[in-house]
Amino acid sequence: MMTMKLGKFCTAGLTAIALCLASAQQVLADRRSISPGASVTVSGTSGGTSNSGDCGWVAAEPNLVLDATEDLLNMRIAVQTAGAPTLLIEGPAGRYCVLPETPSGSTVQFSGYGPRGTYNIYVGDRQQAQHPYTLSVSDPQR
């Protein structure tokens, strides 16, 4: 009888490990690199279950982890989505919350100097809703 309980435990444990590995692979799939003159475009679903405090509701993990291999002199991050979108950027120069220019705006963008390093980018929603989005990051050539 002890062997049977151990067998059930091992099966449950293997299932949990498989789910954790699948989740880790999903997070890794959203990691990209960018260099001067390049661009990156991804799509997904905005919002989430985590209240960021000042930048709406976001996913527990970033929608995009972006590695800037060099300083980006003219970095532009833009998201196109419905709802009440926000853009939360955590990077080498700090944490920024970007809201649309108009209350009913569906495009949110940040532009400026982006130092080399890793950026965690969240596409949020102020009303805890979820909508399909397209997120683009670019840096025109110098």
Beta carbons of 96 and 33 less than 8 angstroms apart: no
- At 140 the pLDDT is 87
Beta-bridge partners for 46: none
User: How much is the pLDDT for 72?
Assistant: 96
Average pLDDT, the chain: 84
Give the per-residue pLDDT at 142: 60
Decide: 36 and 122 in contact? Cβ < 8 Å: no
- When pLDDT is cut at 50, 70 and 90, the band that residue 53 belongs to is very high
Look up residue 11 and give its DSSP letter: H
pLDDT of residue 127 exceeding 80: yes
The H or E element containing residue 117 is strand 117-125
CA 113 – CA 126 distance, rounded (Å): 26
Quick one: pLDDT at residue 138?
A: 97
